[in-house]
Chain A
Amino acid sequence: MVTVMLTESQAWQVLGDVPDPEIPVVSVVELGIVREVASRAGGLRVVVTPTYSGCPATEVIADSIRAALAAAGAGAVDIETRLDPAWTTDWMGDAARDKLRAYGIAPPSGTAAAGGVQPIRFVAKSQTCPHCGSTDTERLSEFGSTACKALYRCRACREPFEYFKPI
């Protein structure tokens, strides 16, 4: 039997098509979850980092990565979880941010490194509405449908939207 092995760059391409289970418009590579891909005897080693400590998607993501690489003929796949450096939304590129916006999620504004959490006060920073582009928006909740997002409402177009928090 001939086993066709994937090169590292082929593996990155395959992973570039593995969607995040909760935000399927962006891939696990674009989100910065895949940190490293290395060939090794008989297969591949993939290093991933979790987004939030309690993110329920973490195990689903590992399964999707395994399944996608297996379907592409990668042989044995070892998935290693690495915490350091901690995942940050700063790793998301402009293309991923545009895709989030088109999907109706406002991308993180500013950088997490610069301190994404505002001091305690009532009026949250306004975020740009991904539907109509207005900045006349208000925060409804610090936590949205997932821990990584906050819930906002646009006062101009009256649509609710989620905001991907910088972390």
Chain B
Amino acid sequence: MTQRNTAAPGHIEYVLRLGDNALILGQRLSEWCGHAPVLEEDMALANTALDLIGQARLLLTHAGRLEGRGRDEDQLAFLRGERDYRNLTLAELPNEDFGRTVVRNFLFAAFQVPLYQRLTASSDAELAAVAAKSLKEARYHLSHAGEWVIRLGDGTDVSHDKAQAALDYLWPYTAEFFAANPIDDAVSAAGIGPAWHNLEADWEAAVVPVLVEATLTVPARTPFASYGKFGRHSEHMGHLLATMQTMQRTYPGAQW
């Protein structure tokens, strides 16, 4: 069992980032429920969202225990202010269209897979257990999204152009995957999780061959930086939270 009040702030922050990534992308993907282009993809996106929200529940529950202030998964998911969320900016961006949705799922799953792989050896046993479980799910997400990236990129002129536009739009936000602040050094030194920059080579090795097979042009790196994982979010985050939090804000403590 997790002990109370023993976790370093960086440790809590690290687990919050993982949980918030899953929560916010899960929330975005659930917007597709009933709206996807075909029924099969409606189910696929809803099931991916369900996996992510399930991961978020485990991770936020764990973060709440580490914090030791009695906050549970619901309080962390629904009652924080915007700047207290630690998700990657990429996760909160609007879905736009099916192309951008699957390209984002692909870029994100290719990040989650090596991350969870390394976290299975975390010095935090609970985190290692969540990672081992979530890794199995992330692999299916990667395979599903990757197939769609190839199908759209190497498809019709229209699907190719939309997939390329999605990639060009999303790519600058992926630099944030590998950005760190001083808190991260302590976390990786304690063996809790990998240093973010150590994941970049694995991510590129998973991403680039699929983009090439999809006949998409890999965009160049730019100086653009986003800071969602440090609590500074895009203009889209407030709108997402307004929708996500409205039930708990209106009826505090409401339960299913």
Contact = CB atoms under 8 A, between A and B. Distances in A.
Interface of A: 50, 52-56, 83-88, 112, 117-122, 140-147, 151, 165, 167
B130 A52 contact: no
B150 A151 contact: no
Given A84-B132, A141-B41, 10 more contacts: A50-B133, A52-B51, A54-B52, A83-B133, A88-B136, A119-B143, A120-B150, A143-B144, A144-B43, A167-B137
A87 B129 CA distance: 11
Interface residues of B, number: 35
Contacts of B144: 142-143
Which one of A56, A143, A146 has the highest number of Cβ atoms from chain B below 10 Å of its Cβ?
A: A143
Interface string B125-168: 11011101110110110111011001100000000000000000
B79 interface: no
B248 interface: no
A142 B143 CA distance: 9
A52 to B, nearest CB: 6
Contacts of A146: 47
A145 B43 contact: yes
A-B pairs, top 7 by smallest CB distance, nearest first, are A54-B54, A53-B54, A141-B40, A84-B129, A54-B50, A120-B146, A83-B129
B144 to A, nearest CB: 4
Contacts of B140: 117, 142-143, 165, 167
B126 to A, nearest CB: 8
B143 A147 contact: no
Contacts of A122: 147, 150-151
Contacts of B174: none
A54 B43 CA distance: 14
Nearest to B113: A117
B58 interface: yes
Interface string B26-53: 0000000000000011011001111111
13 contacts: A53-B137, A54-B49, A55-B54, A83-B130, A84-B125, A86-B132, A120-B143, A120-B146, A120-B150, A122-B150, A142-B140, A143-B44, A151-B40
Contacts of B150: 120, 122
Contacts of B48: 143
A52 B210 contact: no
B86 interface: no
A111 B54 CA distance: 24
Contacts of B210: 120
A54 B55 contact: yes
Which one of B48, B143, B151 has the highest number of Cβ atoms from chain A below 10 Å of its Cβ?
A: B143
